[in-house]
């Protein structure tokens, strides 16, 4: 495997690299921004790619926001996008549940461990759910809860799926209830299983860490519908109809973004060093996941 090409400062190399692709799949956290802080020259870079006629899709594992929420965030950041260019892990999970898994009613309701983004996308697909941001679940577990969860009186008999995402409101009541549904045969899904979330110019526990307690308790991994899942790649290709050989995945995380692009047999992958992964990880001898090229920051594409 040839070593990745370092493109920062290499104008000719950048021009040649961009000429290989018609479509760019952009990761968001750690590539475009850190929380609400937009990295330098990101807006100019996106403008430049659009002026070259490139198709852009924003592919994020962050399940806390819906496509509509991301459209608002892009607008706030001064980046011209439309909602249909966003394809997040919440949307990926909702599409999978509604159009692929298609559990027969009535036992097709979802028990959500996560934020509003998941709820909005499930609503958009007509999928019923409980928990999520429901304040009734944002409380300490009480002694009577143990009995009511164990005997099923606290459970909704129509729940057939547990969906675990990035949940900023974790508690034992929600975990114990989700665990009981799984013990009773519910399908175990996750929007994504990233270990860390790059935000506030630091790292925080990610969706995978938020759901780790439930995984440990039930003793099996959920089916994750975010990067690097190829169910997500297939869904994106099904929606945007691109030529994979002329498509490049741009990301900050080797075991989601770059692996997603490589396993999806895309024409190329571009790593940026503003997020989770460090260049030492992919420059090391025998590194398992190596991008085609890398740069210090996305804005280096416009120099």
Ligand X SMILES: O=C(O)[C@H](O)[C@H](O)COP(=O)(O)O
The answer to whether 160 touches 103, Cβ cutoff 8 Å, is yes
Q: What is the closest distance, in whole angstroms, from the C-beta atom of residue 226 to ligand X in the complex? A: 7
Which of 117, 206, 228, 299: binder of ligand X (CB under 6 A)?
A: 206
Return the range that interacts with ligand X (CB under 6 A); candidates 27-35, 99-107, 182-190, 260-268: 27-35
Q: Is 28 a residue that touches ligand X (CB under 6 A)?
A: yes
Return the range that interacts with ligand X (CB under 6 A); candidates 71-79, 173-181, 192-200, 294-302: 192-200
Q: Is 29 a residue that touches ligand X (CB under 6 A)?
A: yes
Length of the chain: 303
Q: What is the closest distance, in whole angstroms, from the C-beta atom of residue 60 to ligand X in the complex? A: 3
3-state helix/strand/coil string of 264-298: CCCCEEEEECCCCCCHHHHHCCCCCCCCCEEECCH
Output 90 or 108, the one with its CB closest to ligand X.
90
What Cα–Cα distance (Å) separates residue 143 from each residue in 147, 150, 151, 179?
Answer: 8, 12, 13, 17
How many positions of this chain bind ligand X (CB under 6 A)?
A: 14
Output 177 or 274, the one with its CB closest to ligand X.
274
Output 31 or 159, the one with its CB closest to Mg ion.
31
Going edge to edge, which strands form the sheet with 109-113? 129-131, 109-113, 159-164, 187-190, 223-224
Output 62 or 259, the one with its CB closest to ligand X.
62
* Residue located via tokens 């790649």: 233
Residue 197 binding: pick among ligand X, Mg ion, none (C-beta 5-8 Å cut-off by kind): ligand X
Output 59 or 149, the one with its CB closest to ligand X.
59
The answer to whether 189 touches 97, Cβ cutoff 8 Å, is yes
Which of 34, 45, 62, 277: binder of ligand X (CB under 6 A)?
A: 62
| Options 10, 22, 145, 156, the catalytic residue | 22
The answer to whether 269 touches 292, Cβ cutoff 8 Å, is yes
CA distance 58 to 66: 12
22 is catalytic: yes
The answer to whether 180 touches 155, Cβ cutoff 8 Å, is yes
Q: Is 207 a residue that touches ligand X (CB under 6 A)?
A: yes
Residues 156-185 that bind ligand X (CB under 6 A): 166
Token pair listed for 159 = 């729940």
Q: Which residues are catalytic?
A: 22
């Amino acid at each position: 495997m040839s070593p990745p090409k370092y493109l920062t400062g290499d104008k000719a190399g950048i021009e040649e690299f961009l000429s290989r692709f018609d479509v760019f799949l952009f990761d968001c956290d750690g590539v475009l921004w850190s929380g609400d802080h937009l990295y330098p020259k990101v807006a100019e870079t996106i403008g430049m790619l659009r002026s070259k006629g490139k198709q852009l899709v924003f592919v994020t594992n962050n399940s806390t926001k819906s496509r509509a929420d991301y459209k608002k965030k892009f607008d706030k950041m001064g980046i011209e996008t439309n909602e249909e260019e966003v394809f997040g892990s919440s949307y990926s999970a909702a599409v999978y549940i509604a159009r692929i898994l298609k559990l027969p009613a009535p036992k097709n309701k979802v028990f959500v461990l996560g934020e509003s983004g998941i709820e909005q996308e499930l609503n958009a697909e007509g999928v019923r759910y409980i928990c999520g941001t429901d304040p009734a679940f944002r409380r300490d577990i009480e002694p009577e809860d143990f009995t009511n969860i164990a005997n099923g009186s606290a459970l909704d008999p129509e729940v057939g799926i547990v969906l675990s995402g990035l949940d900023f409101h974790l508690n034992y009541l929600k975990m114990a209830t989700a665990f009981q549904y799984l013990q009773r045969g519910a399908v175990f899904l996750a929007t994504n299983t990233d270990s860390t979330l790059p935000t506030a110019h630091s790292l925080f526990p990610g969706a995978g860490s938020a759901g780790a307690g439930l995984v440990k308790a039930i003793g099996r991994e959920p089916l994750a519908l975010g990067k690097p899942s190829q169910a997500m790649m297939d869904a994106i290709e099904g929606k945007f109809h691109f030529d994979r050989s002329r498509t490049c995945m741009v990301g900050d995380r080797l075991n989601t973004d770059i692996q997603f692009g490589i396993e999806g047999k895309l024409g190329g992958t571009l790593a940026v060093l503003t997020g989770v992964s460090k260049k030492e990880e992919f420059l090391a001898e025998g590194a398992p996941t190596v991008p085609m090229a890398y740069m210090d920051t996305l804005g280096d594409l416009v120099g």
